[in-house]
Structure 1
Amino acid sequence: MNTRRTPLFCDTGLATRIERAEAELIEATARAAHRRLADGRGFVIPLAGGLASFAQADSPFNKVVGLGFGGVPTAGELDEIEQAYTAVGAPVQVELPHLADPEIGVVLTRRGYRLESFENVLGIGIEDQYDVALPDGIAIRPSGDDELDQWLNLMADAVAAPDTQGVPWREEFPRDTYIEAERDSTAADVNRYVALHNNEIAGGAGLRTVAGIAQFAGAATLSAHRRHGIQSALLATRLSDAAAAGCDVGVITTQPASKSQQNAQHSGFDLLYTRAVLVWSARVKAA
């Protein structure tokens, strides 16, 4: 990677591209959950350029995403999604970029939405090509469907031991629900990777490329194989593949001041913008 690079600047045009890619990922994954469960409870509702998604109970994909760059939601549109989430016993969780139309925050606050947390979106300008030199004993390869369960459990183990540095995640998800959600994400064309250390499976990661945006999904390393350069190897390999796919920007989402953010910035990612997480529920409104 170029060590003398210009930091990536994020204007509203780039933020729109990133949020659109995020909305497409959430929609594809939620619809896969709907097909799997076939219980009629799930929904995806378009909303002011973004969407409101409910995949299944306790899913990380139950959220409103992509708002801010396609107009301000009307009272009627917000009534519809609030009723939809209430019907399935879930709160409305809106992830709103700070680059969004400020009027949206005003509207949501007046309706009783409460600020609960933040998350950071970091990005990197992708070079034309990369020379990937892996440490001795480390190999990275695609992960096939024949080892999907092993890959899912590897990623679930990483989520079970989150960052202790910085601001903690506001939510925890049941292990089985998280695994099923990650399984559903294969319908969104998330490419899986496995890292080998001395021929043993030692880590994994994901990558999705769409419309020039490379979305870096979570990367995990088993504790027995840490501090051997596996995370750097997974990142370099995915950057190279993103370049080959014609992407110009890579993005990753972290908690503020977390070890994950620190590692991403050390690897060349820049902080692009922050999403505020605003939550509404019928119980809160009644109170």
Structure 2
Amino acid sequence: MRNHADFLFCGIELGERIERAEAEFIAAGSAAALERVGDDGGFVIGLAGGFACHTEAGSPLNKVAGLGFAGVPAAGELDEVERRCAAVGAPVQVELAHLGAPEVAETLTARGYRLVGFENVLGRSLGDARAATVPPGIEVLRGDDTDFDRWADTVVGGFAVPDAQGVAPHEDFPRDVLERAVRDLAAAAGTRRYTALVDGEVAGGSSMRVTQGIAQLTGAATLPAHRRRGVQSALLAARLAEAAAQGCDLAVVTTQPASKSQQNAQRQGFSLLYTRAILVKP
């Protein structure tokens, strides 16, 4: 059992470091998506230390990320983002860390943004990461260019049927749009891909992005037929071991509150660092 000294404390500086990495990840994926779809009203705009992005209708990349650590966005900057979203018939969604300046949330709610949900950010130090251990019958393979399509199909297939444990997401995405977003993120941000096999059969997939000493654990999903067999724990352990070997000092993962993913992460030594509020202006 872990003692209290093992739990990672997240101050404002660490929160800013994680949010900057997340915002850059979303911006990179969005830029790749815009190269694919062309100039059809999409954008990637720097906004008060973060980014406002829109790619195509219904995409999970359509959001504002990274606010709260570089002052309050100017009214004119928010006007521009809201105008451009309105021009393509899209809401504005802001994911706002509760460690950021409270004035940002005050400004957004005064402009008509509504709270629609939360997501949790968990992290752990990698100084004591051990070699990956996986349950019997499960094998984790590092992906390459030859298995990209299989990996993408597996991850999207798992996302398409969300796990019922915990708080339900406030939105879902068409499978084709989700698949394109997964591919754009993987292609643009230099993510490393992993596939889990159960008794030789593809069961799940995940990815990891390494940036500035942070291992961002992303894109993890298990196909419904293989859930509750340790697939997510195996994928998590494999990525932690590789991140430590690459010299990362921190691993982070984002989950739905009280979800199976959060439970698996905490079993692997992750601590709840902070929560993002999801604010939407229709």
Same fold by TM-score greater than 0.5: yes
* Equivalent in the alignment of 2:235: 234
Deviates more, 1:133-142 or 1:69-78: 133-142
Q: Distance in 2 between matches of 1:167 and 1:136?
A: 30
* Equivalent in the alignment of 2:162: 162
* Equivalent in the alignment of 1:176: 176
Q: Post-superposition shift, 1:25?
A: 0.6
Q: Distance in 2 between matches of 1:174 and 1:133?
A: 35
Q: TM-score, normalised by structure 1?
A: 0.92
Question: Percent same amino acid among aligned pairs?
Answer: 56
* Equivalent in the alignment of 1:64: 64
* Equivalent in the alignment of 1:87: 87
The letter of the residue matching 2:248 is C
Q: Distance in 2 between matches of 1:273 and 1:75?
A: 27
Say whether the 8 Å CA contact 2:22–2:66 is kept in structure 1. yes
Say whether the 8 Å CA contact 2:161–2:224 is kept in structure 1. no
Q: State whether structure 2 residue 258 is matched by structure 1 residue 260.
A: no
Gaps of 5+ in 2: none
**Structure 1 counterpart SS, 2:136:** coil
Q: Distance in 2 between matches of 1:66 and 1:252?
A: 16
Say whether the 8 Å CA contact 2:45–2:51 is kept in structure 1. yes
* Equivalent in the alignment of 1:191: 192
Decide whether aligned partners of structure 1 residues 89 and 223 sit closer, same or farther in structure 2, where only a CA change above 3 A counts. Answer: closer
Deviates more, 1:186-195 or 1:168-177: 186-195
Residue by residue over 1:77-134, the C-alpha shift from the partner in whole angstroms, topping out at 9 and shown as x without a partner, is: 1111111111111111011111110111111111111111111111111125522233
Q: State whether structure 2 residue 10 is matched by structure 1 residue 10.
A: yes
* Equivalent in the alignment of 1:43: 43
Q: Distance in 2 between matches of 1:78 and 1:16?
A: 21
> Over aligned residue pairs, what C-alpha RMSD do you find?
1.6
Q: Distance in 2 between matches of 1:259 and 1:198?
A: 22
* Equivalent in the alignment of 2:20: 20
Q: Post-superposition shift, 1:258?
A: 1.9
Q: Post-superposition shift, 1:221?
A: 2.6
**Structure 1 counterpart SS, 2:13:** helix
Decide whether aligned partners of structure 1 residues 226 and 95 sit closer, same or farther in structure 2, where only a CA change above 3 A counts. Answer: closer
Say whether the 8 Å CA contact 2:158–2:204 is kept in structure 1. no
Q: How many residues align?
A: 280
Q: Post-superposition shift, 1:3?
A: 4.6
Q: Distance in 2 between matches of 1:119 and 1:234?
A: 21
* Equivalent in the alignment of 1:207: 208
Decide whether aligned partners of structure 1 residues 223 and 276 sit closer, same or farther in structure 2, where only a CA change above 3 A counts. Answer: closer
Decide whether aligned partners of structure 1 residues 113 and 135 sit closer, same or farther in structure 2, where only a CA change above 3 A counts. Answer: closer
Say whether the 8 Å CA contact 2:152–2:182 is kept in structure 1. yes
Q: Distance in 1 between matches of 2:39 and 2:60?
A: 18
Q: Post-superposition shift, 1:267?
A: 2.0
Q: Distance in 2 between matches of 1:217 and 1:112?
A: 31
Q: Post-superposition shift, 1:167?
A: 1.5
Q: Post-superposition shift, 1:150?
A: 1.6
* Equivalent in the alignment of 1:216: 217
Residue by residue over 1:174-201, the C-alpha shift from the partner in whole angstroms, topping out at 9 and shown as x without a partner, is: 0000000001012111111011223322
The letter of the residue matching 2:98 is H
Gaps of 5+ in 1: 282-287
Q: Distance in 1 between matches of 2:72 and 2:225?
A: 49
* Equivalent in the alignment of 1:110: 110
Q: Distance in 2 between matches of 1:118 and 1:266?
A: 21
Decide whether aligned partners of structure 1 residues 22 and 87 sit closer, same or farther in structure 2, where only a CA change above 3 A counts. Answer: same
Say whether the 8 Å CA contact 2:59–2:181 is kept in structure 1. yes
* Equivalent in the alignment of 1:285: none
The letter of the residue matching 1:23 is A
Q: Post-superposition shift, 1:224?
A: 3.8
The letter of the residue matching 1:25 is F
Q: Distance in 2 between matches of 1:109 and 1:224?
A: 42
**Structure 1 counterpart SS, 2:194:** strand
**Structure 2 counterpart SS, 1:124:** strand
Residue by residue over 1:14-44, the C-alpha shift from the partner in whole angstroms, topping out at 9 and shown as x without a partner, is: 1011000001110110011011111342101
Q: TM-score, normalised by structure 2?
A: 0.94
Q: Post-superposition shift, 1:146?
A: 2.1
